[in-house]
Every structure is written in C-alpha cells, then in structure tokens.
Structure 1
C-alpha cells in the first residue's frame, strides 16, 4: 500500500466515524463531509478519464451558483452541500465490510449447477446476498461462473439484475439511502414492502425472458447456488435496523446501518479469530476503502451539484411554486431518469436534479422515495456507464451491444411494472 492510499483510508475511516457520531451527538454532519472531500481530492488524479470528467463537471456546475450566492452575501447552504449525500456514501463504505463475515470459507462457495433449478437458485440467492454485501455478491458469483468459460448473455443479465433489484427493498443498499435522503418522511417499512413486490416480479420476468428465448437457454443455464446459511448475519442486521428505526424513527436509517455494520463485523471477527480477526478487519479497511474512492468522488460531486442546482432554482424563483405532484408526475420523473440513463447520464446525477426540483413541491414522500428507488434500480441496468454494466463488459468480456439489446425489453417492462405499483402505494 502506498502512502497516498494509506492517507485516503485514514481520511475515509475518520469521515465514516464522524458521520456515525452525528447520530448520537450534536456534531455537525458537514464535518464528516469536509474530511471525505479531502480524501476525494487525493483520489481525483487517479480516476478513470470518463469518471473524472463527470466528477469535475458536476463539481463545477454545483460550485458555481454557490460561489455566486456567497459573493452576493446570500445564504448558499454550503454546509448542506457537504453533507447531503453522506448517508449514501457511508452505507456503501460500511456495508462493504459485511463480506468479511458473510462470505463462505474458500472452497465452500458451492459448485456451479445446470438447469432451471440453477437459474432460480442463482436469481434468488445472488439477489438475497446482494441485499447485504452489495456488488461483492455479483463479483463472487461471476468470478466462479467465468472461471471455466466466459459469461454468456443470460448469465450476465441474471447476475446484474439479481444485484440491482435488491436496491428496491434492502435497507443495507445505497439505493435506499439515496431515496430516504431525497424523500424525507418516507416510511422504510412501506418502501420495503412495495419494493419486495416489485423485486420479486422483476426476478420472475428475468427468468421468463430466458425461458421465452428457447428451451436450450432455459434447460442449459449454468448458475451459481448461494448457501442460505450465508444470509443469517445480513438477516439479523436487517431486523436489528428495522427494530431500532421503529423505536427511534428520527434516526437516519443509512447512518444507523453505517454504524451497526462495522460494529457487527468487528464483533463477529473477534469472536471467530480473536485479535487476528481485528487485524484482518483493519487490513481490509486499509485496502478496500481507497478502492471505493471512485464512488466517493462521484457521490460527493453529485451532492454538491444537487445543492448548487437547488440554490439556483431558489434564486430564480423556481423553488417557490409549491406545485402538487401526483402519480403521473412522478411516473414522468421515473421515465425521464431512465431515458437519460439509457443515453449515458448516471442515475445519481438525474436524481440529484429531480431532488433539487421536487424538494419544494407537495408530494407524498413514499411515492417520491419509491420513484427514486425504481429510477436507480432500472437506470443502472439501462445505463451503459454504470459500475454494474462496466463490470460485465470490462471485467467479464460480455459484448456491450448484446447486453444492451438484451436488457432493453426488461427495462421497458420494469417501467410499466413500477408505474402500476406507484399508483397503488397508499399515501404516506
């Protein structure tokens, strides 16, 4: 590890600790934001060109209106700009630690299987596993399946969708953190209930698409079964989060997860391996936290952009209209975000724009949060530059155009399904 990576790891760990401390103390959340921005500045020079361009563009577009307002002596909400996306960042950093205690021991992951049963086991197993350890579940299954031969289009789509669909309902995923951040007042339990329905329907549609392609694709599918015993710890953490949030509904759920996940990981590692487990956790943090610097930079820049845009709307009088948004308006927001994602704009940037515009509107928080959950989940599949799609293409060699064409029918059907469920969600 280089000295630069060590400094980044220390700053990111400090930022995470300060953000979690905000839950139980008067410590301002933007203090953690300042620490995270220092880490982002260290990471910026080494970002891939495309990601660096997006980060710089979002930063410039957000900082400009804030700078103008500060120069005019007006309130520029710079503290909010530093803090708005921190729950999202913290849940990504903290949940990544869970793979240390959730993954099966080497050689006990389960062997690839073949046939319809393997398809269903892969869909639901990777989906459930992703709900706790994020993209690591996708990598585990994809690495095993690609060890003998490259992933085919069906395997790639199953793994990618199994992962992204867990954003609909899991309180341990970044999508839920984003939705709760931009739709304050939304009910976590209500979002999980409706999100589970949409996730299950989407998983069934994924299997149906493969079945309709032909008997050979369905009967010959090679999948990766996930042991249900590996899900015990994530299930316990989910129940714990739901219980605490019910007793203390004012606590930030993402920051609550960000605090509980490291504590649970530390406790289990110490119980299993004693002080060696604690050292392994520290080593993992030093190595893995800098590796997540790309997401850190993008989400910090998106937060700055969102607040800058919100201030610009306010200065122009666009944030004082107090319009009432209904199901059809939010459906339009969803379709617009997914369309922009398909054209190449990352969903987080579009959600930042929508969130900046809707914060002054009258809209049911559950409906708005569900709109953002669906926008993120469907948009990641539609977007050619999302981390999920880039991993399938760059890491596993799946042909880009084939994957994009294969996913388009699923994206369109998902929009219809999400629209129907959004009409059924009771007012919050």
Structure 2
C-alpha cells in the first residue's frame, strides 16, 4: 500500500473535521454549514492532484459551469447571490458519505470471517442484489450502495451487471419509499399529496424495475461468474441493524432530523462503539488510520459531489433569475401535463442535471389544487427514479463513479433501454393515477 503524504493526511483530518462540524450542526446549538463546506472544499484542493484525470476534468467542468452561471445571474440579471454560501451545495451529502465510510471499521473485522450462505451467481444473484439494495435502501438511502457494493467488491472488482443492479435497486426505491430523499422533497413541494395513492402505483412500478433488471441483464450479459449479494443472515446483519437503529432515531429519538442526517452521525457512532470493545487506544488507532488513509482516498467522491452541488446552485439561480416568479407553466396539472413534465425532467437528467432541479423548477411554475398535489408528487418521484438511474451526474452514479471508478456515461449508456421501458411504465402509471385523483 502506498504511504500517504503529509498533504494527504492533512486533507484526511480536514475531511474528518468537516464530518464533526456537520454532526455538531445537528444539535442546533451552532450553524456549521459554512464550516462543513469550507473544510471539505479545502480538502479537495489539497487532494486535487491525486484525483484521477477523468474525475478531475469532470469536476473542473462542473465547477466552471456552476460559477459561470452564478456570475451571469448576478451580472446580467442582477440576481441576489449568497457568495459565502455558494460552496454548500451537496456538502451535507458528502458529509454523509464520509460518515458511511466508517462502516469499514466494522466490515473489515467481519470480512476476516468466511460469510455464511451459498454464493449465488446468475440471474438469481442479480435479483438478490436488487432486492437487498432496494429494500435496505428504502431506509438507508444511498449508504446502501456503499454497504452492499463494498461487500460484493471483496470477492472481485465489480462488474457492469453488478453496477446496474446496485444502481437500479436503489433508484427504483424513489417511487414509493416514505423515507427516501425524493419523498421528502415532493412532500415539501406538494404538502397535500396522498401517500396511499402514490404507493398504490409506485410500489408495483418498483417491482417492475426488479423484474426488468433481472430479465434484461440475463439477456445481455454472461452472469455465470457474476456474484450476487447474499441474503444470508451474516450478510444482512449489519445493514438490518443499521436500518432498525435509523428507524429508532427517526421516529423516537431525533424525529426532527432527516434520514440522511441520522445516517451521518449514526454509522460513525456505531463503528466507534463496536471498536471500543477492544479498548480506547485500539479505537483511536483505527480511527486515526481511517482518517489518514481511507478519507483521502474518497477524493473522487467528495470532489464530484461538491462540484455537482455548485452546478446545481448555479443553474437553479440562473433559471430563477430568467423565469421570475409570476409566470405559470400550466393552467392546471393533469395527465398530459404530468407526462410532459416527466419527459422533460428525465431528459434534463440525461443532460447531467439532477431530477431535484427539474422537480423544484417545475414546482415554482405550477399552481396545484386538490388531487393535483398527489399527481405532481408522483410525477416527481417517477422522474427521480428514472432520472437518477440514467443521469451521469446523479448521486447514485457519482457515488459509484467516485468509489469504484466506473464511468458515469458508461452507466448511462447501459441504462438507456431500462430507462426507456421504465419511462413507458411511468407514463402509464401517471395516466392511471390522474384518473384516480381527478
């Protein structure tokens, strides 16, 4: 293993401080948003030369575009820009990924033991990977990608079918999970939505994703040596325990925090307690080793997420400056409007924009009444599920790219057929839900 330099070790300490600042911010005693973003961006600056060239070029382009759009919004359209806060985009997601990385302090010890359960390959293995990521991901969100992906990567480098199963298993949870980030966004934008109606159409749509993934990958790839995620008790123990703890904090202990926030502090806490069984010195040694070696190695993930956040801020600021607040896109929001909106958001995801941008911009251009809230929410969830699966700059694909080195555009190319079929199913579901709520 290549020894880290003092520059890399300093960057690791800054990343750890960014995580600590984020956790301190959850207490409400002090606003640490600026500190988190500045610490993480400074670590990226220190690690910039170590980032793989492809990721470095992509991050640089995203940063340049985001900053340019902010400048245009300010200088051409006289928009208000909070310059000190311009680096905050996606900082909370990056901090969550840093927190999730501490699961390796438990996983490495468990990894020395031979996992129980028969190794499963073929289409059955793909289906189990999809099922494991999907149902654990409904609660643990994006951290599931890392948990399951790292476990699969212990046997051999991940293959494209495994990447696609991870991607689709998690992205499809957006259609129905009440704990997914997408649901929190659409509830905020359409507060009168009826969850039972959304789940009635969203859950079957997610199951169709699993069936399509299994059949399509079995047809396109030789899966005879592609290992699937084991659903044996030992493999599921850590994710299930974490999911239960997240639920305890979400419903009883810290209901004011989002699922992402809970995961950010919970996984490092559990990992530290786990290691304390061996004593404080042992725990500190492992945390120090993790800080100086593993955290600097996250430079690809952190840089891409922060750069994409700057792009999102620049684009949303420019769109708001150009469109203004008085214009309304639709007089009413029905099936046809929902379908057009879905297609537009998915196409924007293909162009590299996160669906949250399209959904948020759409919300600012429509006036919803009655059942339109539910239909709008479902359109947002479907476009999120399809858009994040195929979009090269979605959080899921950025995480896979930063952690495992797979190209986001390669993922997009391999997901085009899947996205097309899921889009047709989504459009049909939008029409059906429109009839139900009208």
Q: Same fold (TM over 0.5)?
A: yes
Query: For residues 208-357 of structure 1, what are the structure 2 equivalents within 5 Å?
Result: 208-210=215-217, 220=224, 223-226=227-230, 227-247=232-252, 249-271=255-277, 275-323=281-329, 331-332=339-340, 334-336=342-344, 338-339=346-347, 345-346=351-352, 349-351=353-355, 353-354=357-358, 357=361
TM-superposed CA distance for 1:328, in Å, is: 5.3
TM-superposed CA distance for 1:229, in Å, is: 2.6
Gapped regions of structure 1 (runs ≥ 5): none
Instruction: Determine the structure 2 residue equivalent to 1:376.
Output: 388
| Maintained 8 Å contact 1:8/1:39 | yes
Local SS of the residue matching 2:102: helix
| Maintained 8 Å contact 2:389/2:415 | no
Q: Does 1:414 align with 2:410?
A: no
Taking structure 2 as the reference length, what is the TM-score of the superposition? 0.73
Local SS of the residue matching 2:26: coil
Q: d(CA) in 2 for partners of 1:258 and 1:107?
A: 27
What per-residue deviation string (whole Å, max 9, x for no partner) do you get for residues 49-79 of structure 1?
A: 3332332232233223545676798631235
TM-superposed CA distance for 1:2, in Å, is: 0.8
Q: Cα 1:225–1:302, aligned 2, differ >3 Å: closer, same or farther?
A: closer
Q: Does 1:11 align with 2:17?
A: no
What per-residue deviation string (whole Å, max 9, x for no partner) do you get for residues 163-188 of structure 1?
A: 44224438xx9x9557756874689x
| Maintained 8 Å contact 2:66/2:313 | yes
Q: d(CA) in 1 for partners of 2:160 and 2:23?
A: 36
Gapped regions of structure 2 (runs ≥ 5): none
Q: d(CA) in 2 for partners of 1:10 and 1:327?
A: 51
Local SS of the residue matching 2:55: helix
What per-residue deviation string (whole Å, max 9, x for no partner) do you get for residues 90-118 of structure 1?
A: 22221222243246432513564456654
TM-superposed CA distance for 1:273, in Å, is: 6.5
Q: d(CA) in 1 for partners of 2:338 and 2:171?
A: 18
| Maintained 8 Å contact 1:145/1:224 | no
Q: Cα 1:156–1:2, aligned 2, differ >3 Å: closer, same or farther?
A: same
What per-residue deviation string (whole Å, max 9, x for no partner) do you get for residues 12-37 of structure 1?
A: 11111112221212422122112222
Q: d(CA) in 2 for partners of 1:332 and 1:350?
A: 17
Aligned-pair RMSD on alpha carbons? 4.4
Q: Cα 1:366–1:246, aligned 2, differ >3 Å: closer, same or farther?
A: farther
Instruction: Determine the structure 2 residue equivalent to 1:97.
Output: 102
| Maintained 8 Å contact 1:84/1:303 | yes
Local SS of the residue matching 2:86: helix
| Maintained 8 Å contact 2:301/2:401 | no
Q: Cα 1:40–1:78, aligned 2, differ >3 Å: closer, same or farther?
A: same
Aligned residues: 404
TM-superposed CA distance for 1:258, in Å, is: 0.5
Q: Does 1:63 align with 2:67?
A: yes
| Maintained 8 Å contact 2:23/2:264 | yes
| Maintained 8 Å contact 2:9/2:292 | yes
Q: Cα 1:338–1:49, aligned 2, differ >3 Å: closer, same or farther?
A: farther
Instruction: Determine the structure 2 residue equivalent to 1:201.
Output: 208
Instruction: Determine the structure 1 residue equivalent to 2:166.
Output: 162
Local SS of the residue matching 2:111: coil
Q: Cα 1:98–1:168, aligned 2, differ >3 Å: closer, same or farther?
A: farther
Q: d(CA) in 1 for partners of 2:267 and 2:169?
A: 21
Q: Cα 1:158–1:327, aligned 2, differ >3 Å: closer, same or farther?
A: farther
| Maintained 8 Å contact 1:20/1:256 | no
Local SS of the residue matching 1:223: coil
Q: d(CA) in 1 for partners of 2:64 and 2:401?
A: 27
TM-superposed CA distance for 1:124, in Å, is: 3.3
Q: Cα 1:59–1:408, aligned 2, differ >3 Å: closer, same or farther?
A: closer
| Maintained 8 Å contact 1:9/1:287 | yes
